[in-house]
Amino acid sequence: MSLTRRFALAALSATLLPAPAALAQPDPLPSWNQGLGKHTLLAFIARVTREGGPDYVPPAERIAVFDNDGTLWAEQPSYFQFQFALDRTKALAPQNPAWQDRPAFRAIVAGDAKALSALSHKDVQEILAISHAGMTTEAFARTVAEWLATARHPRFGQPYDQLVYQPQLELLAHLRASGFKTFIVSGGGVEFIRVFAEKAYGVPPEQVVGSSVVVKLQMATDGKAELVKQAQVEFVDDGPGKPVGINRFIGRRPIIAFGNSDGDHQMLQWTAAGSGPRLMAILHHTDAIREWAYDRTSQIGRLDKALDEANDRGWTVIDMRRDWKWVFPFQRQVP
């Protein structure tokens, strides 16, 4: 074989075969199947973190926001915080006979599933506010922690904080290893999520944005200052409230936004409206075997208009059944 041919074959081999160092690199997303979704996420992160590249984004501007319910953990058959509020309301009902005057509270105490399924968004907000009112923020956090330690999901029999998505935990970790700040931006209660977010997701409480009730400073009988939750909704971080919440509490437009429902639509739109590289992602629940399959007609986590826009504008749609090897940590197959 001629020397020229040897050089040509060597050059071809170098282009086709990765270097030994590249082969040794661990997969940052081992719970994701190989496919367009995983490739798009990894390629975007690599592109915006490559120094000297045309799409390089400085670390200070690497902001990634994630919805919580249905995006980082499950949300069926009802939002987990709503289940907490139901359990809390039942426990407190004997001490609050006046609640019987409210149809929503009567439905909870009676266990009327049909009436509960028909509750409006306003009814749900009222239940959350009133059932949590009068507690100090510290007492509320303890109550949430106790509930998470004892309550079990009706389908899986697992603690609710075990219904987190293993593939998303890997994505959050990879983003942080790549210099991103990861934020939760949820329609759920901010103080509820802050109880478990750091342990469950590695997201510290100051990087959680959510709905809130009015909180007032009061002096306890021992003279210590304390914050007490009131029966009044202050801010709803859902739908158009999400971009407002991001602007108010984060102060930077994210370059990555990840949601799963029409409640995240405006957050995705606002992220897309920024300049420079952007990634908008939607988790599509398509796995009725390992989780649930739902979208356009679901009362919980409805995905309709946002899915249409994602398809029209080329946003990244993650198909749970196709793109994830497994869903929850307790389903994970360890080699």
Per-residue pLDDT of 146-184, as tens digits, reads 999 999 999 999 999 999 999 999 999 999 999 999 999
In a domain, 4, yes or no: no
Q: Please list, in sequence order, all residues whose beta carbon lies within 8 angstroms of the beta carbon of residue 96, skipping any fewer than 6 positions away.
A: none
- Residue 179, in any domain of the structure: yes
54 assigned to some structural domain: yes
pLDDT digits (tens, 9 = 90+) for 59-73: 999 999 999 999 999
Question: For residue 226, is it within any domain?
Answer: yes
Kindly report the average pLDDT of the chain as a whole number: 91
Q: What is the mean pLDDT of residues 288-295?
A: 98
Q: Compare 93 and 310 and report the one with higher pLDDT.
A: 310
Task: Kindly state whether residues 85 and 74 are assigned to the same domain.
Answer: no
| Residue 139 within a domain | no
221 and 113 in a common domain: no
- Is 126 found in the same domain as 245? no
72 and 94 both lie in a single domain: no
Q: Kindly state whether residue 53 falls inside one of the protein's structural domains.
A: yes
Q: Are residues 205 and 115 in the same domain?
A: no
Is residue 129 located within the same domain as residue 158? no
CATH number of domain containing 51: 3.40.50.1000
Instruction: Please state, for a pLDDT cut of 90, what percent of the chain lies above it.
Output: 75
Domain count, the chain: 2
Full residue range of the structural domain in which residue 317 is found: 28-78+152-331
Same domain, yes or no: 156 and 263: yes
Residue 16 falls inside a structural domain = no
pLDDT of amino acid 132: 84
Residues 106 and 204 grouped into a single domain: no
Pair 90, 57 in one domain: no
